[in-house]
Amino acid sequence: MAVQQTISVDLGDRSYPIVIGRGLLDGGFDLGEFVSGTDCLIVSNEVVAPLYLDRVLSSLNGKNVTTIELPDGEIHKTLATMQEILDQLVDSRANRDTTVIALGGGVVGDMAGFAAACYMRGVAFIQVPTTLLAQVDSSVGGKTGVNHPEGKNLIGVFHQPQVVMIDTDTLGTLPDRELKAGLAEVIKYGVICDVEFFAWLEANMQALLDKEPAALAYAIRRSCELKAEIVAEDERESGCRAILNFGHTFGHAIEHCLGYGEWLHGEAVAAGMVMASELSAVSESDRTRFRALVAAADLPVTPPAIDPADWLSAMGMDKKVRQKKLRFVLLKALGDAFITSSFDADHLQRILGAD
């Protein structure tokens, strides 16, 4: 993508741009423009920092910058790891005009954003996502947090960034497995609210797997546009934003039951979305098309073997639960999702593998 594109997340005085382009980390974007004070903390991890930290530092000339490199992986998305970020802020004597910059995937972004929200009751932060999943989903919308041993993302707050800067060139160093995991969230947008985008994905999945720049640029842009529209309507997930959790009730349970990191988040969501489609009252042709698209992305279409009782226990901690009742995001048709607590309980048991 030769020309950068900007999408606005419209939230009144908390509005911010999502800037998408190539070469943004190589002088194509002035990150310092969004740093109001003089002090910054860059939060990255041991995998991403050697690749991109120096480039971010070069875009912050004149700023007083400290850095912290965290261990890589979902298993480290904990309060203990976030404490390390807070300790670094204290050790550097950071004030309320400090900006926290998240450089990495969804785990780094979620923890850095949570630390920024907590430190001195809230300092600014910036998202520089380097994985496809973070670029199309977790970096946008202000969800921050960490996992608890009893459930995914149970501890956190909403804290919107100042800007999301997406340099699509970072996907050139992304392992194939991570790319495919990110495609699960891309597919999600098509199936929940944009059937034309779903059809585009059917026609262009191989191009995405081959990392063709034009295909990736369009998929990222359209995903961000759709999420920005939904977040602008329902910032704190009290209504329609919950449809963004399609497949996540099952997916988070997979991650919890297997142990974080055994399946990547996107892999668990892919299988979870197929399960949600099976629970939905959609036509068989729609269900077949959806399953075929997930398979075309080389993502799991069947869940791992988990005891039904463990499934239900894990899903009972889902954040959509109300009055101890499970709620699911289901489909009326491709491109038309809704959230409900009305579902066929016997069918759910069969989906979970109960006799």
The residues annotated with a catalytic role in the active site are: 121, 143, 185, 227, 237, 241, 245, 248, 252, 265
Query: Of 290, 270, 292, whose CA–CA distance to 282 is shortest?
Result: 290
Question: For residues 204 and 186, what is the distance between their CA atoms, to the nearest angstrom?
Answer: 12
Q: Which residues contact 26 (CB under 8 A, 6 or more apart)?
A: 55, 169
* Helix ranges, 135-247 (H): 176-193, 195-209, 213-233
Token pair in block for residue 214: 């034009």
SS3 109: helix
SS3 254: helix
Q: Which residues contact 127 (CB under 8 A, 6 or more apart)?
A: 102, 109, 113, 134, 139, 140, 161, 163, 164, 165
């369009």: which residue's tokens? 218
- Angstrom CA distances, 176 to 7, 209, 214, 243, 331, stand at 27, 8, 18, 27, 29
For 31-87, give the secondary structure using H, E and C.
Answer: HHHHCCCCEEEEEEECCCHHHHHHHHHHCCCCCEEEEEEECCCHHHCCHHHHHHHHH
For residues 247 and 269, the answer to whether their CB atoms sit within 8 Å is: yes
For residues 154 and 241, the answer to whether their CB atoms sit within 8 Å is: no
- Angstrom CA distances, 24 to 4, 28, 56, 101, 283, stand at 8, 4, 10, 15, 44
Q: Which residues contact 211 (CB under 8 A, 6 or more apart)?
A: 171, 172, 179
Token pair in block for residue 91: 């050790």
- Local structure of residue 192 (DSSP, 8 states): H
